[in-house]
Amino acid sequence: MIKWIAIAILSIGLAGTAYWGFQQSNQRETLLIQNENNYQRAFHDLTYHLDLLYGKIGTTLALNTNEQLSPQMLEIWQLTSRAQTDVNQLPLVLLPFSKTEGFLSEIGDFTYDVAVRNLDDEPLSQEETEKLNGLYEAADEIRQELRTIQHEVMGKQLRWVDVELALTDMDPESENFIVDGFTTIEDSASNFTETHFQNLSATLPQQHERFSFLTGSDVSEVEAIDIIRKQFDLNEDLAIDLQKSGEGAQLQTYSGSFTHDDHHGYVEISEKGGHILSYMINRDFQEAAISLNDAQKKAEQLLEEQGLDQFIIMQASQFEQVGLFQFVGNQDDIWIYPDKIMVKVALDTGEIVGFSAADFYRNHRDRELSQPELSLEEAEEKVNQSLTIEDYHLAIVEDNEGNEVLTYAFFGTLNHDTYRIFIDANTGYEVVVELLQDVENNWGNRLTD
């Protein structure tokens, strides 16, 4: 009898141990997934911020007024802070990365010092302009390497949690593409002096967060999952990981992710109305089988299906086997830049693999538009004479305070770069200057002699 009691107790103990082990395994797997999601987000944010940083530095070289230079420098300073935050969230503790962080600090310190001084009394010197050019070139090298890493991460479905293992592996023969890529980035930044980033405060322009165009009742988590299944035609038994934004978020959203065959999907949905704000599909892309023009038609068809009309194609570009299309609102032949939508189309199958309409839902509303007080010729005189003007159109854009301004948008070239310059159509003030990179522009009305 005692023997059987002992066996029963032992069996219960083994079962309990097995259950505990199962629970621990599940918890560990959940933790790995959470860490991987955080790493992926931080890396893609870093790549995005370096792209913006490169563009912002480039636009300062085309500015014609000191009034725009200070706000531009503050924006660059803010972007370097964000990029450093992204770096700190990646598993690179064991990887020497001080030179790249020093490079970001160099940009941050330099742009902040320029932004806070009186540029009328102490304008940008020739030495500072040369330094800005050097930072611009280095930023280009780093962003291109980040894009290469991003392509490999997405194409080969590499995991950041494996980077942690690779960094703790002391075997000199071990290889990891992500680690090798970041080592290359570190080498690219080695020409810049390491400085310590100062956590300086500044009053930075804040973007208006309206989202007044979102309509409908709040949707539940179950309803949000149903929206995702319907959008991507997913089976009922396919697992969808859904997370709700925190209480402090400016807009309450659901973030969902799923894996189906070789497709890895990420989607963001507004709680109010269940509108799809953005999504991205990661998969391997085969050789292009459709033209960029056919892909544009696919993108336009998607907008129609989403009930989004009155849009005009602003930019079309091809990155290997993917077409990227940027649309802006169109009201009375005036381009509404705040109402922007971006669509990515795979050129092998014509599948939509990326969609972002957050800017549209944030900014869209009925606008009362007026006629410009300045003529086209008067506005063109306000553009940097070093630029060769190629085209123009009337446009609504946001200034640094988030106020919408009626402008003339001029497309001009300088050296081998193309810029878009927005001149206030009423005052002649240089509102925004943007560097256009790797794009094929859909020009508006061509200027006449």
Which of these ranges, 101-110, 145-154, 200-209, has the smallest mean pLDDT?
Answer: 200-209
Q: Is residue 205 a part of any domain in this protein?
A: no
pLDDT digits (tens, 9 = 90+) for 253-306: 888 888 877 788 888 899 999 999 888 888 888 888 999 999 999 999 999 888
CA atoms within 13 A on the CB side of 1: 0
Provide the pLDDT for residue 384: 85
Closest CA to 272 of 234, 339, 227: 227
Residue 369 inside a domain? The answer is no
Residue 337 amino acid letter: Y
DSSP conformational letter for 293 = H
Q: Residues 368-379: what's their mean pLDDT? A: 92
Residue 441: per-residue pLDDT: 40
pTM above 0.75, yes or no: no
- Domain residues for the domain of 331 are 221-363
How many of the other CB atoms lie within 10 Å of CB of 209?
A: 11
Q: Are both 357 and 386 inside the same structural domain?
A: no
pLDDT at 50: 82
Q: CA–CA separation, 135 vs 151, rounded Å? A: 24
Query: Residue 437 maps to which CATH number?
Result: 3.10.450
Q: What is the mean pLDDT of residues 204-210?
A: 43
pLDDT tens for residues 216-256? Answer: 899 999 999 999 999 888 888 888 888 887 665 667 888 88
pLDDT band at residue 443 under the 50/70/90 scheme: very low
For position 431, what pLDDT does the model report? 87
Give the per-residue pLDDT at 180: 66
What are the helix (H) ranges across 61-125? 66-88, 98-116
Residue 3 forms part of a structural domain: no
Pairing mode of beta strands 445-446, 388-398: antiparallel
Decide if 11 is inside a domain.
no
Mean residue pLDDT across the chain:
76
State whether residue 324 is helix, strand or coil: strand
Is residue 399 assigned to a domain? yes
Q: Is the pLDDT of residue 205 over 70?
A: no
Range of weakest confidence among 39-53, 158-172, 418-432:
158-172
Average pLDDT on 313-336 reads 88
Domain count, the chain: 3
Q: How far apart are CA 209 and CA 347, in angstroms?
A: 34
Indicate whether 48 and 181 sit together in one domain. yes
Of 112-126, 194-208, 361-375, the range with the highest mean pLDDT is: 361-375
Q: Are 383 and 64 in contact (CB under 8 A)?
A: yes
Specify if 198 maps to a domain: no
Residues 88 and 179 in one domain: yes
Task: Say if 354 falls within a structural domain.
Answer: yes
Which pLDDT score is estimated for 372? 93
The Cα–Cα gap between 423 and 153 comes to 40
